[in-house]
Amino acid sequence: MGEKSAQKRKYILDKARAVFSEKGFKSVTMKDIVDACEISRGGLYLYFSNTEELFLAVRLRDDMDDSEDETMSAIPGDASAGDMLALFIKEQKKEILRKKNNLTVATYEYYSLHRADGGENPLKDEFDTAVRIVERLISNGVESGEFYCENPRGCARNLMYVVEGLKITSMTIGITEEAIDRELMYVLEGLVPDELNN
């Protein structure tokens, strides 16, 4: 793909992301994308044949742009497990609070319509990856005496279920930042040994 084509494709993906963020997945048509891009229908079809292909390209680009490794590498080498978990939670909270250009509703709509039949399920993969990261952070905190947890995997899974629920709540009925903090702290408060709470 030439430079001009690559730029046009990027432009279409940027505009499509905004449309999916605003309207979800189910109600978006190729005409919506044509209108947002201000290009001809034929011009759009040179790059994408339908809204599903376009949505998956937007998600793929988001996945490639998500730099969890960059976030984790921004932590100093001497950071504690608590510091790293706090950064992870901060990133999750930012995602929950992000109203503009948020694909949460579109993503859930898409995957509710296109359930994976035993094959790939990117939402499940993302969830499982987050659980593994949190589990590792909790386990490191237990080893260093910073946390107390008999079941790091269960705690990590519980935290991520709460995060997913907060994302949906934020996009559907709304939630305040204070309520998000309260719910996340409720899950995390059991990790701190009693002697550190006093």
Q: What is the pLDDT along the chain (198 residues), one digit of tens a residue?
A: 688 889 999 999 999 999 999 999 999 999 999 999 999 999 999 999 999 999 999 988 876 665 444 545 555 567 888 889 989 999 899 888 887 767 888 888 888 887 655 567 778 888 999 999 999 999 999 999 999 999 999 999 999 999 999 998 988 888 999 999 999 998 888 887 655 544
CATH number at residue 143: 1.10.357
Question: Which pLDDT does position 101 carry in this prediction?
Answer: 67
Q: Are residues 188 and 94 in the same domain?
A: yes
pLDDT at 105 (0 to 100): 82
Does 92 share its domain with 174?
Answer: yes
**Co-location of 96 and 116 in the same domain:** yes
Co-location of 46 and 75 in the same domain: no
Tell me, yes or no, whether 78 and 150 share the same domain.
yes
Domain boundary among 13, 34, 61: 61
Say whether both 103 and 185 belong to one domain. yes
Task: Answer yes or no: do 101 and 174 share one domain.
Answer: yes
DSSP the chain: --HHHHHHHHHHHHHHHHHHHHHTTTT--HHHHHHHHT--HHHHHTT-SSHHHHHHHHHHHHHHH--HHHHHHTS-TT--HHHHHHHHHHHHHHHHH--TT--HHHHHHHHHHS--SSS--HHHHHHHHHHHHHHHHHHHHHHHTS---S-HHHHHHHHHHHHHHHHHHHHHT---HHHHHHHHHHHHGGGS-HHHH-
- Say if residue 107 is in the same domain as residue 182: yes
Question: What is the model's pLDDT at position 197?
Answer: 47
* Structural domain harbouring 76: 67-197
Residues 80 and 56 in one domain: no
In this structure, are 17 and 73 located in the same domain?
A: no
Q: Final residue of a domain: which of 23, 42, 61?
A: 61
Q: Are residues 91 and 173 in the same domain?
A: yes
Domain boundary among 22, 46, 61: 61
What is the predicted pLDDT for the residue at 119?
60
CATH code at 30?
1.10.10.60
Q: Do 74 and 52 have their domain in common?
A: no
